[in-house]
Amino acid sequence: MFRRKLSSLASKVNDSSTVRLQQNVSKVNCRVPRRCKVLSIDNMNPHVKTMEYAVRGPIVIRAGEIEKELASGKKKPFLEVIRANIGDCHATGQTPLTFIRQVVTLCAYPELIKTSDFPTDAKQRAQRILDGCGGKSVGAYSDSAGVEVIRRDVADYIEKRDGHPANYTDIFLSTGASDGIKSIMKLLMTGKGGKERAGVMIPIPQYPLYTATIAEYNAYPVNYYLDEDNGWALDIDELKRSISAARPECKPRAIVVINPGNPTGQVLTRENIEGIIRFAKEEDLFILADEVYQHNVYAEGSEFHSFKKVLREMGAEYQDMELASFMSTSKGYMGECGFRGGYTEVINLDPDVKYQLSKSVSAKLCPSVIGQACMDTVVNPPVEGEPSYELFIKEKNNVLGLLAQKAKMVTETFNAIEGLSCNVVQGAMYAFPRVEIPEKAIAEAKSSGMSPDALYCFQLLEETGVCVVPGSGFGQREGTFHFRTTILPPVDKLQVLLSHFRDFHQGFLQKYQ
Scanning residues 112 to 131, which ones bind its own copies (CB under 8 A)?
A: 112
- CB neighbours (10 Å) of residue 238? 17
3-class secondary-structure state, position 224: strand
Nearer to its own copies, 142 or 264 (CB): 142
User: Where in 418-477 is the site for its own copies (CB under 8 A)?
Assistant: none
Count of residues of this chain found to bind its own copies when the rule CB under 8 A is applied: 108
3-class secondary-structure state, position 286: strand
Closest-CA residue to 307 (of 347, 254, 357, 343): 347
420 forms beta bridges with 435
Nearer to its own copies, 261 or 341 (CB): 341
What DSSP designation does 37 have?
P
- Note whether 266 and 434 are within 8 A (CB): no
3-class secondary-structure state, position 512: coil
- Measured CA to CA, the distance from residue 375 to residue 154 in angstroms comes to 8
Closest-CA residue to 270 (of 222, 233, 318): 233
- Regarding 353 and contact with its own copies (CB under 8 A), the answer is yes
Options 229, 237, 300, 320; binder of its own copies; rule CB under 8 A:
320
User: Where in 136-195 is the site for its own copies (CB under 8 A)?
Assistant: 137-144, 175-176, 178-179, 186-191, 193
Options 35, 74, 75, 114; binder of its own copies; rule CB under 8 A:
35
| Residue 474 C-beta: closest distance to its own copies, Å | 14
- Measured CA to CA, the distance from residue 419 to residue 437 in angstroms comes to 8
The window from 278-286, 422-430, 452-460, 478-486 that contacts its own copies (CB under 8 A) reads 278-286
Options 17, 206, 213, 325; binder of its own copies; rule CB under 8 A:
213
- Considering Cα of 444, then 448, then 452, then 455, what sign does the dihedral take? negative
- Measured CA to CA, the distance from residue 313 to residue 183 in angstroms comes to 27
Nearer to its own copies, 24 or 506 (CB): 24
- Regarding 415 and contact with its own copies (CB under 8 A), the answer is no
User: Where in 36-95 is the site for its own copies (CB under 8 A)?
Assistant: 37-41, 43-49, 51-53, 55-57, 64, 86, 88-95
Closest-CA residue to 122 (of 359, 509, 357, 382): 382
Options 371, 382, 465, 475; binder of its own copies; rule CB under 8 A:
371
- CB neighbours (10 Å) of residue 107? 27
Options 76, 101, 240, 502; binder of its own copies; rule CB under 8 A:
101
| Residue 279 C-beta: closest distance to its own copies, Å | 13
- Regarding 218 and contact with its own copies (CB under 8 A), the answer is yes
